[in-house]
């Protein structure tokens, strides 16, 4: 493996771990029980209920144990965030706990934002130290903490750097991204 490949691997590995560790520490999860919700108000309760339904039935549309007397019916409240829903479903089923699944999804949103920004910036030809700073700052934007678990899908904004890259590649003469330098 070449030096450039190893350096990029080290960059992406640090971008995958550092934002999660910082968010973990900032939310006080170091000593906390992961089975307790970080936030239990507003729309966070909706996401926890949705996760509970996914843990019991496999999807969020019908929950027989919520919404008496006929159960929770979400067919008229379709959510267009299929990628987020699939990721949450996977985390809820893997952890076996709806609250742990929501917390893991939220923490992973920091990693996804950092990696998407890092890969995009690196593809555009920025040097590794600049990429590291940009990606970490992007993942730890105040917006991420402001939306947090209150608006779980809005806090997962990893698609923005990818969209910017696609827009730039269409806008640039000749299309395509820059070369990966140093």
Residues with Cβ within 8 Å of residue 108, at least 6 apart in sequence: 20, 87, 91
56-107 confidence digits (pLDDT tens): 888 888 888 887 788 888 878 878 888 888 999 999 999 989 989 988 899 9
181 pLDDT exceeds 50? no
CA 170 to CA 150: how far, in whole Å? 35
Tens-digit pLDDT profile for residues 107-121: 999 999 999 999 999
Average pLDDT on 155-167 reads: 91
Alpha-carbon 117 to chain mean position: 12
Confidence of residue 175 (pLDDT cuts 50, 70, 90): low
pLDDT on residue 70 = 84
Q: Is the pLDDT of residue 182 over 50?
A: no
Residue 103's closest CA among 19, 59, 47, 31?
A: 47
Least confident of 99-108, 136-145, 149-158: 149-158
Mean pLDDT of the region 32-52? 80
């Amino acid at each position: 493996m070449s030096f450039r490949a190893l350096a990029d691997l080290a960059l992406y590995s640090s971008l995958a771990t550092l934002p999660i560790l910082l968010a973990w520490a900032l939310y006080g999860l170091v000593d906390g029980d992961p089975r307790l919700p970080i936030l239990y108000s507003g729309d966070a309760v909706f996401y926890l209920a949705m996760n509970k339904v996914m843990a019991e039935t496999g999807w969020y549309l019908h929950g027989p144990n919520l919404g008496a007397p006929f159960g929770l019916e979400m067919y008229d409240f379709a959510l267009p965030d299929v990628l987020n829903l699939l990721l949450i479903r996977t985390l809820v089923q893997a952890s076996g706990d709806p609250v742990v699944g929501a917390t893991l999804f939220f923490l992973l949103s920091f990693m996804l934002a950092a990696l998407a920004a890092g890969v995009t910036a690196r593809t555009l030809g920025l040097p590794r130290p600049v990429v590291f700073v940009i990606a970490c700052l992007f993942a730890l934007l105040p917006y991420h903490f402001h939306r947090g678990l209150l608006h779980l899908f809005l806090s997962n904004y990893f698609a923005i750097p990818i969209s910017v890259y696609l827009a730039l590649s269409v806008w640039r003469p000749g299309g395509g991204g820059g070369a990966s330098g140093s």
